[in-house]
Amino acid sequence: MSPFISRFIKDNKTDFSDLLGSDFPSLRSLTGPELESAIVEKYCELVKKEGGFEYVCSLPIMNPDMDSFNFHLIYATRHRKGVKVFKSVERRTEEKTLTIRSNLQQKSRESKTQNWELFGPRVQYRENCYQRLARMNKGRAKEAVLALIKTAEKISYDECWSEALQFSAVFESDLRIWIDAWEREGLIVISGRTPKSRVLKVASGVNLFLRSAKN
């Protein structure tokens, strides 16, 4: 319930060490979306450490009629297949959320104007909270994957996939776009990709190299 944690974490009398770790007071310098994202990240880190999990993902659930998150669903697993299933649920949730919220917004506008709208509810849909999180997490995931590639002589596509998809609002299509761009820019070399299967997939034996490390 991140909104409530964000509200009370700045109270010096409130101890969140069991939930966020002993260094949680460092979060008090943050505000707004940055604070909420940091709280979720801290909690995920603690779950991963204490539970011995390989992967921990979060799914933001929006309020139906407010531009804010109601809570974040945390999922932990020790197998990559779990991440794949969770991301498919996240994608469906994203679509369902858009449908529900856009319909509610249209009903609200029609109630105020007493006029039926000509276009579908998604045409005038407005939302900033999730889009802001998506932009931030895509940027963070992209940097994290590139850092992995730069620090390893060789890294598998599977490892890059696992790193990127633990960020909410980041999907495999995003990862493929980044890798494609890095390859076109001459930053990386991809090995193990067959002519008949140009689309990168997990468990296909594809590896990534920095060009300087490969050549």
pLDDT in tens, 1-20: 777 888 889 888 889 999 99
pLDDT in tens, 56-104: 999 999 999 999 999 999 999 999 999 999 999 999 999 999 999 999 9
pLDDT in tens, 117-168: 999 999 999 999 999 999 999 999 999 999 999 998 899 999 999 999 999 9
- Would you say 31 and 61 are in contact if contact means Cβ atoms under 8 Å apart? no
Domains and CATH numbers, the chain: 128-215 (1.10.10)
DSSP per-residue string spanning 44-77: HHHHHHHHT-SEEEEEEEE-TTSSSEEEEEEEEE
Give the confidence band of 196 by pLDDT, cuts at 50, 70, 90.
confident
Backbone angles phi, psi at 60, to 5 degrees: -75, 130
pLDDT given at position 11: 87
pLDDT given at position 15: 92
C-beta atoms surrounding 171 within 10 Å: 18
Q: How far apart are CA 101 and CA 62, in angstroms?
A: 9
pLDDT given at position 214: 46
Which of 174, 156, 201 shows the shortest CA–CA distance to 91?
174
